[in-house]
Chains A and B, each alone.
Chain A
Amino acid sequence: MFLKKSLKPLIAAAAISAAVIASAIIYFQANRHTVYEDTFFSMDTVVSVRSDIDVCKDTRDIFKSLEAVYDCRSENGEAARLNESGGLENCSDELIRGLNNILNLNREYGSSVDITAGGLTLLWNIDSENPSVPSEKDIDAALETVGIDNIKVSGNSVTLQNGAKLDFGAVAKGIALDRVKAFLKDIDDSSDTIVSTGSSVLLYGDGENGYFNVDIKEPESGGVLGRVRTKPCFLSTSGGYERYFEADGKKYCHIMDTETGYPSESDITTVTVFAESGLLSDFISTQVFIEGTKGIEKHLNAQDYKIIAADKNKKLYVSPGLEFVKKDLSYEE
């Protein structure tokens, strides 16, 4: 009788503890999928990550480590040291891999996007406090240093000929997003993840029944030009409407035209490229912008990517097969 009596509260206590532990487990399971939003500065821009807390942290680490490789403006960057010295014997595997991938794209798609434009971008320096139009003489001198043939890669050693200076600004964010996706696949992460640098985005996971919605910004109003429904992929936007300066009533954007040595005077106001690689979407969006509408036909029907672009007359160019819904009715398809 004594035993039986003392057993009852024990059983009750055990049951209650089990219930508490069970709810704690349910709670932490639910919490595991809580979405965190992390924002940090890297590669001259803001990176925002929406995912679970581990992915947010890892993404930050990946960006910081790649920034140390591709940064050509601060002396900590490997690219900056390469520019300074004109050649390095023991470049990191990451830099070599990046260089080779970019040069492969140049071989396939041409050299409108030229990472040896560093001399020009440095001369114009449009992100500085008081940017101005350089002299013809300086522009010509900088143009002399531009050309992808000036890059010689052999094993892990890189030589820059003719005073060429590298600038990975057009592609580094795409490369970083590629590395983030490779990492997510490696750890077999299942959480929905969006990493955005503002102009380049990684969409990863299931989204809404396998699809993500991408709102394309209207260049003048900042409103929404239209919405693209897409499976997980990479996308990059290029335009001259955000980073530019004005001199004598003329706008100079941040994208250099290596044909002229001046900022691109594209008739395209905004272009977004969707691809299976962040480097490719970054590269092509810059290329489409520089080439303007006269070169757009081949991009509209490309195999490896899809584009949506608008020109100064508010005409839209949309790749067949891209699920695009126009929101701003002042544009014409």
Chain B
Amino acid sequence: MKNNTVFARKSDIIIIAVIILAAAGFLLFRHSVSSERCIASISVNEKIVSEIDLSKTADGEFTLKEIQGPVFEIKDEKIRIKSSNCKNQICVNTGFIASPGETIVCLPKKLVIEIKDGKAPSSVKTG
């Protein structure tokens, strides 16, 4: 009887264990989710207008109402600007991107597509 006043009951311990396990499980889940995702984030004038999970998106072409001109294409979990009405065509010439940190930029339109994975960065593409 005295024990019960000092320590929690068996059922209490089970409840606490369940809560701790749930918290740990949640963290693990978050971690595994964030390490698998590769998101193509499309922004115009520094505002994100679309975020696309490349691993879950079927191949195809699309346009965005927020920006006139560019036609986007997703193929084999990669994304590119297939065509655009801008003058220098740098964005089109960049081709497909898929790796974290890669970007497609159209300066005149202030359009940026960036691949994000939420992990600590250790690689970059330059040029």
Q: Quick check: A33 and B120 within 8 Å, CB to CB? A: yes
Q: Select the stretch in A44-52, A71-79, A155-163, A295-303 that faces chain B.
A: A44-52
Cα-based distance from A44 to B105 in the complex (angstroms): 12
Total count of chain A residues near the partner, CB < 8 A: 60
> Does A4 sit within 8 A of B, measured CB to CB?
yes
Q: Quick check: A12 and B127 within 8 Å, CB to CB? A: no
Q: Quick check: B5 and A8 within 8 Å, CB to CB? A: yes
> Does A41 sit within 8 A of B, measured CB to CB?
yes
B101 vs chain A, min Cβ distance (A): 6
Q: Quick check: B5 and A272 within 8 Å, CB to CB? A: no
A326 vs chain B, min Cβ distance (A): 15
Total count of chain B residues near the partner, CB < 8 A: 46
User: Which B residues are in CB contact (< 8 Å) with A26?
Assistant: 23-24, 27
Known contacts: A12-B9, A12-B12, A23-B19. The answer to whether A217 contacts B126 by CB under 8 A is yes
B43 vs chain A, min Cβ distance (A): 6
Of the residues A12, A27, A40, contact of B23 by C-beta under 8 Å: A27
Of the residues B7, B87, B120, contact of A129 by C-beta under 8 Å: B87
Known contacts: A208-B122, A215-B126. The answer to whether A41 contacts B23 by CB under 8 A is no
Q: Quick check: B126 and A242 within 8 Å, CB to CB? A: no
> Does A11 sit within 8 A of B, measured CB to CB?
yes
Q: Quick check: A8 and B112 within 8 Å, CB to CB? A: no
Minimum CB distance partner of B115 in chain A: A37
Q: Select the stretch in B52-60, B62-70, B88-96 that faces chain A.
A: B88-96
Known contacts: A19-B19, A35-B120, A237-B126. The answer to whether A50 contacts B5 by CB under 8 A is no
> Does A147 sit within 8 A of B, measured CB to CB?
no
Minimum CB distance partner of B4 in chain A: A8
> Does B107 sit within 8 A of A, measured CB to CB?
yes
> Does B16 sit within 8 A of A, measured CB to CB?
yes
A27 vs chain B, min Cβ distance (A): 6
Give residues of chain B (1-48) contacting chain A, Cβ–Cβ below 8 Å.
1, 4-5, 7-9, 12, 15-16, 19-20, 23-24, 26-27, 30-31, 34, 41, 43, 46
Residues of B within 8 A of A (CB): 1, 4-5, 7-9, 12, 15-16, 19-20, 23-24, 26-27, 30-31, 34, 41, 43, 46, 87-88, 90, 93-95, 99, 101, 103, 105, 107, 110, 112, 114, 116, 118-127
Q: Known pairs A23-B26, A46-B103, A213-B124. 4 more at Cβ < 8 A?
A: A12-B12, A198-B126, A214-B126, A221-B95
